[in-house]
Amino acid sequence: MQSFLNWSFRLYRLFGIEVRIHWLFPVIAALEILQWSKEEGRADYGAYLMLSLFLSTLIHEYGHCAAARIVGAGADQILLWPLGGLAMVGHSPTNRGEVFVALAGPITGFLACAVCLGVSGVLGEPITWNTFNPFGGKEAWGHSLVQDILKLNLIVNAVNLLTPAFPLDGGRILTGLLVPLLGYARALLTTTLVGIIFGIGLMGSGMYFRAWHPTIFGIWVAVSCVIARMQLKAGAMPEYAYAESFDYRPERPHRPGFFARWRMKREARRRARMAQEERRIREQVDNILDKVKREGMEALTPRERAALNEASKFFRDNEG
């Protein structure tokens, strides 16, 4: 698991948060686009869909990161992969903080839905049941990028919020709500049990209705929770239960991000300009003072007096 998650590369770094993307993401995106172009003759619809998935996940994770910073937990990395994202956030000082951070992802996602709805309205796109219904098959997708983002946001965030199991937000929220009642260790164990029951139930009903997405998702949830439960019983924290023990990052030298490098360069240029300006003014002042020594204050031209004033202002403004 650890090494698998390492297969990622950096996209950019902004506000001290590095955004990485898993190699599987472009691979699956390419396959998806290919499939759309083969089956529907619409490669662009497939591209819309993958871009929507990317943006929806990113918005969701930024929600977690912002909340983590608000409660003082810190956040420094987002990893995006086809099944969702992971925000690397620290521990909140309080249990309430943990619940807030877990909730913030879905809440931000739903806010993004509202924004998309507004943008869609402004663009004059028809808003129908299809706008919100992600289960309308291929018919439902591709006609509007904004509405695709809206639909994917609805799915990503509803699934995250409503699945009471690790490693999804619902599981973290449930744990947080149980901690005051059961204590930390038993709250974690209870969540894994709820997750196993939920996953098996989902798998069963998915098979009954011959719906393969919920079936596979149910299996994945149940298996994740069984593994988490075994880890807990063995005295270890599940990797993703709470963020602290979850650190998949390989040791690599830290390189500042694109914007940080740009700011550093700009600052260096500013300093070089200042140093040059300072040298120029000092030289000028020296010459004028020489003249004062030789010929007295009265000999200074108005221009030289102005230069002295300007110099003293410069040194006052840029003291130290």
Query: By the criterion CB under 5 A, which residues form the site for Zn ion?
Result: 105, 160, 169
The residue (of 173 and 285) whose beta carbon lies closer to Zn ion is: 173
Smallest separation (angstroms) from Zn ion to the CB of 181: 23
Minimum Å gap between C-beta 66 and Zn ion is 12
**Shortest distance in whole angstroms from residue 141 CB to Zn ion:** 23
In angstroms, rounded to a whole number, what is the distance separating the alpha carbons of residues 18 and 211? 37
14 beta partners: 17
At 249 the three-state DSSP class reads coil
- CB 167 → Zn ion: shortest distance, Å? 9
CB of 160 within 8 A of CB of 106? Answer: yes
CB of 53 to Zn ion, least distance (A): 14
Angstrom distance (rounded) from CA 1 to CA 6:
9
The kind and range of the H/E element at 13 are: strand 8-14
Are 191 and 167 spatial neighbours (Cβ–Cβ below 8 Å)? no
Radius of gyration of the chain (CA): 29
Q: Which residue is nearest to Zn ion (CB)?
A: 105
Please give the helix or strand (H or E) that residue 3 lies within, else none. Answer: helix 2-5
Nearer to Zn ion among residue 188 and residue 285 (C-beta):
188
* Residue with Cβ nearer Zn ion (108 or 131): 108
Q: Which is nearer to Zn ion, 160 or 215 (CB)?
A: 160
Rounded to the nearest whole angstrom, what is the least distance from the CB of residue 205 to Zn ion in the complex? 24
Smallest gap from Cβ 58 to Zn ion, in A, equals 12
Calpha distance 312→318 (Å, rounded) = 10
Q: Which is nearer to Zn ion, 147 or 160 (CB)?
A: 160
3 state SS of 84: strand
Distance, CA of 100 to CA of 227 (rounded, Å): 26
DSSP track, 268-309: HHHHHHHHHHHHHHHHHHHHHHHHHHHH-GGG--HHHHHHHH
Q: Are 87 and 105 in contact (CB under 8 A)?
A: yes
Nearer to Zn ion, 33 or 68 (CB): 68
Q: Residue 305 — φ and ψ, nearest 5°?
A: -65, -45
Nearer to Zn ion, 83 or 237 (CB): 83
Nearer to Zn ion, 47 or 86 (CB): 86
Shortest Å distance, C-beta 199 to Zn ion: 18
CA distance 195 to 178: 14
